Structure 1
Amino acid sequence: MTDYLDIQGFTDRPLNWRAWLPVVSLDQATPEQIAVLESSHPQAKVSDYYRLLVWQPLILEQRSAAFNAIMYAPGGLARSDRELASTVVSRINGCVYCASVHAQRYQQLSKQLAPIPAVFADPQDAGDTPRERAIAQFSAGLTVAPEEIGPDDLQRLYEAGLGDLEILDLIHSVAIFAWANRLMLNLGEPEVALE
């Protein structure tokens, strides 16, 4: 049995996401819809999220290309750091599903639990290392008050060891989740996955 975090309504346990609107049935999908699902994500064909968005295949194709480039591109910010930022943004935006998924990915990539409990408790005060704190605080600041981000915020990232490309990747990660969380929150809800 696995011990999961459950803090202030957020968890790292596996969740499913259920759409509130009808999803595309695979046996009724067009060849274009199937092709877009197959290129979007390995689990897209069984995901309500992707099967809802594929009603508009061109939009899903563009969304998936942007998401995959931001989250999985080689070089720049480490994947675990992108996942930490995504978890912070999702926690602040109240997206339980995304917070769960990206907390799990952070833990898998970094091979550590910390700082996820702190992200769930208070994302603006999360992080055990200067780098984690800088990433969490910048992600929180950009999510809560983007108009207040300035040179001092970037300087703190430089001081924590991030370079220009890493900072650009961090900004992109925060931005894609500002958008992704809102889609999830307005189109469906999380539910506990059967293990």
Structure 2
Amino acid sequence: MTAAPLAFTTDRLGWEPWVEPLAEAELTEAHREALVDRARAASPYFRLLARDPAVLHARTKTDLDVFHNADGGLPRAERELAATATSRRNGCVFCASVHARFAEHYGKRPDDVRRLLDEGVGAPQDQLWRAIVDASVALAATPPALTGDHLEALRAAGLDDLAISDALHAAAFFNWANRLMLSLGEPTAPETPAGKE
């Protein structure tokens, strides 16, 4: 077992499963089809989920639709923000790192993303990002605390029903995904490249 990173980061982290994943050599054609993107075979997380190919396939297709469907709705940066806020609230350092990088890339707002990671979900944000963070965090609570006030704040920030739906789908998907990842393993610090110590 390795020590998990202590801080939220945008660094690329590793992930160590507590349950043995399939080896790449064990993956059948059905497993590789379930991965959707065959490059995911390099990931121990996806090789672990490949033990149930039908569920992995449905999970991956849902993930891709939530984040990559550009047919109207919320811009990608704000979808990634919803996933980052949910992951930050749930304590999923690995997922937060992945989606924070995407939120930075698509939103071009590294200071706002860094503040969310460093200070938490209550960190100051502009009206739109505040509304998305608040709704995402409320949806991730147990029991869920999302109310009509959160929806009104999203509308007041300029989102229509389709954009609100996208924000809530991104938050809900990662609320589930965080719990799955947190129950199956832990993040690991990136390896230091040779000669960079």
Which stretch shifts more, 132-141 or 54-63?
132-141
Specify the alignment match of 2:174 in structure 1.
177
Specify the alignment match of 2:158 in structure 1.
161
Specify the alignment match of 2:21 in structure 1.
23
Which residue of 24, 31, 34 maps to 1:33? 31
Specify the alignment match of 1:54 in structure 2.
50
Secondary structure of the corresponding residue to residue 79 of structure 2: helix
Which stretch shifts more, 66-75 or 86-95?
66-75
C-alpha separation in 2, matches of 1:167 and 1:191: 34
AA aligned to 1:83 is E
Shift of 1:116: 1.6
Matches within 5 A, 1:29-178: 29-37=27-35, 39=36, 41=37, 43-74=39-70, 75-120=72-117, 121-127=119-125, 129-144=126-141, 147-178=144-175
C-alpha separation in 2, matches of 1:87 and 1:147: 18
- Structure 2: stretches of 5+ with no match in the other structure: none
Specify the alignment match of 1:193 in structure 2.
190
Secondary structure of the corresponding residue to residue 22 of structure 1: coil
C-alpha separation in 2, matches of 1:71 and 1:169: 8
Shift of 1:83: 0.6
> 1:55/1:126 Cα in 2 relative to 1: closer, same or farther (>3 Å)?
farther
Shift of 1:187: 0.5
C-alpha separation in 1, matches of 2:14 and 2:6: 19
> 1:190/1:104 Cα in 2 relative to 1: closer, same or farther (>3 Å)?
same
Which string of whole-angstrom CA distances, capped at 9 and with x for unpartnered residues, describes residues 12-53 of structure 1? Answer: 11101111111111222221112222x1x3531110110000
Q: TM-score normalized by structure 2?
A: 0.88
Q: Quick check: 1:124–1:140 contact (8 Å CA) kept in 2?
A: no
Which string of whole-angstrom CA distances, capped at 9 and with x for unpartnered residues, describes residues 56-111 of structure 1? Answer: 10110011111111111112111000111111000110000001111111111112
- Structure 1: stretches of 5+ with no match in the other structure: 1-6
> 1:42/1:86 Cα in 2 relative to 1: closer, same or farther (>3 Å)?
farther
AA aligned to 2:53 is P
Percent identical: 36
C-alpha separation in 1, matches of 2:143 and 2:67: 21
